[in-house]
Amino acid sequence: MPGDETAIRELLDSRSAAMGAKDIEWLMSLYSDDIVYFDLVPPLRYVGSNALRERFLDWFPRWSGPIGQELGQLDVAAGDAVAAAWMLIRAHGTMKTGANVDYWVRVSNAFRRSGNRWTITHEHVSLPVNMRSRTAVLDLTP
């Protein structure tokens, strides 16, 4: 459904803007209360909006300015009540330590519609790993 795909794309743009602004209330309004979130860092998963809120509130202060979130290669598939999206996101900005961040992550999302509103019910963020060195590969670009 083209209207639903557009709504999902707008939701993801809103998520990037909320992260960039480090606006926790705006950001959390985009996630369902029962969100299951797989992040780059431990634990294996964050379950529920309270756990995700704590994760974001721990992460935001580590940045000295806005958190850059550039969506790339976004694909969306939407049905009547559920949808999925997969994309690459360029994360960039400066950490409070002075380190510059600029790498691409892989992200998959699941969404559920309630009435006319979509929310994110699952998010999975990952990096490719060099299996020999057991380190993340941060220099790949689309």
Q: 40-92: per-residue pLDDT in tens?
A: 999 999 999 999 999 999 999 999 999 999 999 999 999 999 999 999 999 99
Do residues 69 and 87 touch, judged by C-beta distance below 8 A?
Answer: no
Q: In sequence order, what E strands does 20-136 have? A: 31-38, 46-47, 68-78, 82-94, 100-114, 117-126, 129-130, 135-136
Global pTM reads 0.94
pLDDT tens digits, one per residue of 106-142: 999 999 999 889 999 999 999 999 999 999 999 999 9
In DSSP terms, which residues pair with 123 in a beta bridge?
Answer: 37, 109
Round to whole Å and give the CA distance between 21 and 42. Answer: 24
Q: How far is CA 138 from CA 22, 52, 74, 99, in A?
A: 23, 24, 20, 14
